[in-house]
Amino acid sequence: MTPRFAVQWTPEKPGPFPLFAGELLVEAGNDYDTFTLRLSGTYMPPLGVVGKGFDTVLGNRIAQATAADLLHRLKDMIEQEFEVDEQRKRRPEPAGDSLERHGDASDA
């Protein structure tokens, strides 16, 4: 099963920024050490015909670069959390927390 998350964003402040609606997919790799993030969706350029013209010339490349940056940041965050979790698994238990019995006077 591929996890899917609905995503959308709108500008926080008024201005010539697009609206986006789409989906983020997290696809597992062939092993448990890899994954792929995919972002798909549509966006609406602002400013009507002028915005569509800008999008054709430059805006689309800005949108793609912004989406790629988002995916790289998400990937880095996920990988960092994975490493923290893996390090926790490798840490030895603190003394006194173990349930192992190490012997007592009656074992002598």
Question: Which residue range(s) make up the domain with 42?
Answer: 4-88
Q: Does residue 78 lie within any of the structural domains? A: yes
* pLDDT exceeds 60 at position 108: no
Rounded-to-integer distance, Cα 1 and Cα 31, Å: 15
70 domain residue, yes or no:
yes
> Among all chains, which residue has been given the structure tokens 């986006």?
20
Q: What angle do CA 83, 85, 90 make, to 5 degrees?
A: 95
Looking at residue 96, what DSSP letter applies? T
Token pair in block for residue 22: 């789409």
What's the predicted TM-score (pTM) here? 0.68
| Per-residue model confidence (pLDDT) at position 94 | 67
- 66-90 pLDDT, tens per residue? 999 999 999 999 889 988 988 888 8
In-domain check, residue 73: yes
